[in-house]
């Protein structure tokens, strides 16, 4: 559009004192006058940080994006936003997802930006950026950082999912501590995010299946030169998207969300996908609830044979044809007409995709596992719902009744789990409370809590475990997560005690206890609310406003968007 008035003209197109101020200080970067002459300003929203190892290569990636922007006649401006590193941040990176999303939203809106490229990688960096950008709704494209190369140890392939396995092997006396040190150096051997279908890869698949990235974005390894090519092409494309006034809300339709949910089931994606997609839907104004995930996932078999549900790694998925090959296999199940970032429909993007390795990407007719990637449970132990990942669980525990062994909080769990006194057997159900959004705070990834040492030593490798927390997308086991309302919100889950019977019935989507209504009411009268975890600062804001897991754990006042208009000037 030739006569299009760009948003950035409100800054750089001005005369007088305001225009002077907006341009003069930018010129200290050596920018000639003509750059301010109606060129689309493309913000490159960068989560680069040396404290987020998965995103540590992003400055290089941003250079490739810039090349594309320049090539298309745009003016690239790179800016940092809060970066959430999964492995280092305490008490959990999830506590800060909403804070980072606020940073992203306000940084985009407050600045002279016409279109945005979101550089996302490690788990929470994708949802926080997409959430924030959705509340502004400018033309936006996502470039993921890409997965690490597959780890290699003593001739075998390893990735993040092995962390949990090795840790249990050391506790069971089957592996020496010293070997772990060697593994440490062999697992994360290149730039990029976790190499399995953990949360980061699930998020990269989410943005591609929603249509927010160019085709192929999800699986290209970070170290592969084609990742840079994709970044450059994305830079080129965002300039066109600005000219077309092609906004996030044009892509993020109900049908696009339905596609993303089906794809996540087919790839055995992370349970964290549920929370993040609900939060994104809330920002862009799409109605989505927990039951939609079960309804849309139920008929979708697992076709991607990737850890933690299967055997392979993201690098293998790339060589097998990447996400486009998965989408093509799901063709009959997807909303084919959903428009994507490149302006084409999702089906046009995958129609020529080829699967090069049927062992990695199976077919709908002969899936790799008939167990679905996600089931939503309800019952008197989770009035507002809970989730489980059947594809990464044990089939023999899908219908199970056992006595609860309750841990009131993470400290209680750590203090008692490996003691001889703990009364527990393989049929017990481990319950961990107060690891929810308000309770911990921030809903950490502790839901796949370790099995008691004495049971590990006797050969038990899985048990039913229930919590109001989350699990790493790389984790596995018969683990019920996201119990809502969480214990700290005083629902039924808070009332469960050691010795109560719990029944998990995944085929019928139920999670119940045998505590009678009268007894529940009695316990509720005795219940003492936990003390607030913080009196000030962001954590106070968070715990006062965070919504429960079944609503995406976003803060109540962040629902929806405020658009891109700013009415007042700064001087």
Binding site for Mg ion (CB under 5 A): 86, 123, 199, 472
Q: Which is nearer to ligand FES, 123 or 468 (CB)?
A: 123
Distance (Å, rounded) from C-alpha 338 to C-alpha 208? 12
In the complex, the smallest distance separating the C-beta of residue 481 from ligand FES, rounded to whole angstroms, is 17
Q: Is residue 296 near ligand FES by the rule CB under 6 A?
A: no
In the complex, the smallest distance separating the C-beta of residue 227 from ligand FES, rounded to whole angstroms, is 15
C-alpha to C-alpha distances, 314 to 120, 222, 307, 484, nearest whole angstrom: 16, 11, 9, 32
User: Contacting ligand FES (CB under 6 A), which of 44, 122, 333, 483?
Assistant: 122
Distance (Å, rounded) from C-alpha 265 to C-alpha 372? 6
In the complex, the smallest distance separating the C-beta of residue 408 from ligand FES, rounded to whole angstroms, is 29
User: Contacting ligand FES (CB under 6 A), which of 41, 54, 197, 387?
Assistant: 54
**Total H helices, total E strands in the chain:** 20, 14
Distance (Å, rounded) from C-alpha 31 to C-alpha 14? 17
In the complex, the smallest distance separating the C-beta of residue 89 from ligand FES, rounded to whole angstroms, is 10
User: Contacting ligand FES (CB under 6 A), which of 123, 224, 294, 315?
Assistant: 123
Q: How many residues bind ligand FES (CB under 6 A)?
A: 10
Distance (Å, rounded) from C-alpha 375 to C-alpha 259? 17
The partner in contact with residue 54, picked from Mg ion, ligand FES, none with C-beta cut-offs of 5 to 8 angstroms by kind, is ligand FES
**Per-residue b or e along 8-26, where b marks 16 or more CB atoms closer than 10 Å to that residue's CB:** bbbbbbeeeeeeeebbeeb
User: Which H/E stretch holds residue 211?
Assistant: none
Q: Which is nearer to Mg ion, 6 or 196 (CB)?
A: 196
In the complex, the smallest distance separating the C-beta of residue 160 from ligand FES, rounded to whole angstroms, is 6
In the complex, the smallest distance separating the C-beta of residue 399 from ligand FES, rounded to whole angstroms, is 32
Residues 288, 281 contacting (CB under 8 angstroms): yes
Binding mask 188-227 for ligand FES (x = CB under 6 A): -----xx---x-x---------------------------
Which SS3 state, helix, strand or coil, does residue 412 take?
helix
Distance (Å, rounded) from C-alpha 128 to C-alpha 317? 25
* Pairing of β 429-432 and β 151-153: unpaired
Q: Which is nearer to Mg ion, 278 or 405 (CB)?
A: 278
The partner in contact with residue 200, picked from ligand FES, Mg ion, none with C-beta cut-offs of 5 to 8 angstroms by kind, is ligand FES
Q: Which is nearer to ligand FES, 98 or 201 (CB)?
A: 201
- Segment 159-188, which members bind ligand FES (CB under 6 A)? 160
- For 17, the token pair is 């004192």
Distance (Å, rounded) from C-alpha 215 to C-alpha 237? 12
Residues forming beta bridges with residue 44, ordered by sequence position: 78, 117
C-alpha to C-alpha distances, 12 to 6, 19, 184, nearest whole angstrom: 10, 6, 50
Q: Which is nearer to ligand FES, 270 or 547 (CB)?
A: 270
In the complex, the smallest distance separating the C-beta of residue 350 from ligand FES, rounded to whole angstroms, is 25
In the complex, the smallest distance separating the C-beta of residue 198 from ligand FES, rounded to whole angstroms, is 5
Q: Which residue has the tokens 């000639």?
A: 32
Using CB under 6 A, list all residues that contact ligand FES: 54, 86-87, 122-123, 160, 193-194, 198, 200
């Amino acid at each position: 559009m030739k006569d299009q008035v760009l948003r950035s003209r409100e800054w750089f197109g001005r005369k007088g004192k305001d225009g002077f101020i907006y341009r003069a200080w930018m010129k200290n970067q050596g920018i000639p006058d003509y750059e301010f002459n109606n060129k689309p300003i493309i913000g490159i929203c960068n989560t680069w940080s040396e404290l987020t190892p998965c995103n540590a290569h992003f400055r290089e990636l941003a250079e490739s994006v810039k090349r594309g922007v320049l090539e298309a006649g745009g003016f690239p401006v790179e800016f940092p936003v809060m970066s959430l590193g999964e492995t280092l941040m305490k008490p959990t990176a999830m506590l800060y997802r909403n804070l980072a999303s606020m940073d992203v939203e306000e940084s985009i809106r407050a600045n002279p930006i016409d279109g945005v490229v979101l550089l996302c990688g490690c788990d929470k960096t994708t949802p926080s950026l997409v959430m924030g950008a959705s509340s502004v709704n400018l033309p936006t494209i996502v470039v993921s950082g890409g997965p690490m190369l597959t780890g290699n140890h003593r001739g075998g392939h390893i990735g993040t999912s092995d962390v949990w396995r090795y840790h249990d092997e050391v506790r069971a006396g089957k592996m020496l501590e010293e070997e772990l040190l060697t593994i440490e150096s062999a697992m994360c051997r290149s730039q990029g995010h976790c190499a399995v279908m953990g949360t980061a890869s699930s998020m990269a698949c989410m943005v591609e299946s929603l249509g927010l990235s160019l085709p192929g974005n999800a699986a290209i390894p970070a170290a592969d030169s084609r990742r840079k090519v994709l970044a450059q092409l994305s830079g080129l494309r965002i300039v066109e998207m600005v000219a077309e006034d092609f906004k996030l809300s044009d892509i993020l339709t109900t049908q696009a969300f339905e596609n993303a949910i089906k794809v996540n089931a087919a790839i055995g994606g992370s349970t964290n996908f549920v929370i993040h997609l609900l939060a994104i839907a809330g920002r862009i104004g799409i109605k989505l609830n927990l039951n939609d995930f079960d309804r849309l996932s139920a008929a979708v078999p697992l076709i991607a044979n990737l850890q933690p549900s299967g055997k392979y790694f993201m690098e293998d998925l790339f060589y097998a044809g990447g996400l486009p090959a998965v989408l093509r296999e799901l063709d009959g199940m997807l909303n084919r007409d959903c428009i994507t970032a490149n302006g084409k429909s999702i089906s046009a993007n995958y129609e020529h995709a080829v699967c090069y390795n049927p062992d990695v990407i199976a077919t709908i007719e002969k899936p790799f596992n008939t167990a679905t990637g996600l089931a939503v449970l309800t019952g008197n132990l989770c009035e507002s719902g809970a989730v489980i990942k059947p594809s990464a669980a044990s089939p023999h525990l899908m219908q199970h009744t056992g006595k609860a062994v309750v841990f009131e909080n993470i400290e209680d769990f750590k203090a008692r789990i490996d003691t001889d006194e703990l009364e527990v057997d393989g049929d017990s159900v481990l319950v961990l409370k107060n690891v929810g959004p308000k309770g911990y705070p921030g809903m950490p990834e502790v839901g796949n809590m370790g099995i008691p040492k004495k049971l590990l030593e006797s050969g038990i490798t899985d048990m039913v475990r229930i919590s109001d927390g989350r699990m790493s997308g790389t984790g596995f086991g018969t683990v019920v997560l996201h119990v809502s309302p969480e214990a700290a919100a005083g629902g039924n889950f808070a009332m469960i005690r050691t010795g109560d019977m719990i029944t998990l019935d995944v085929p019928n989507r139920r999670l119940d206890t045998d505590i009678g209504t009268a007894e529940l009411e009695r316990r509720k009268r005795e219940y003492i609310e936990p003390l607030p975890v913080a009196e000030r600062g962001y954590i106070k804001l968070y715990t006062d406003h965070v919504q429960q897991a079944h609503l995406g754990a976003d803060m109540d006042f962040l629902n929806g968007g405020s658009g891109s208009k700013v009415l007042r000037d700064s001087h």
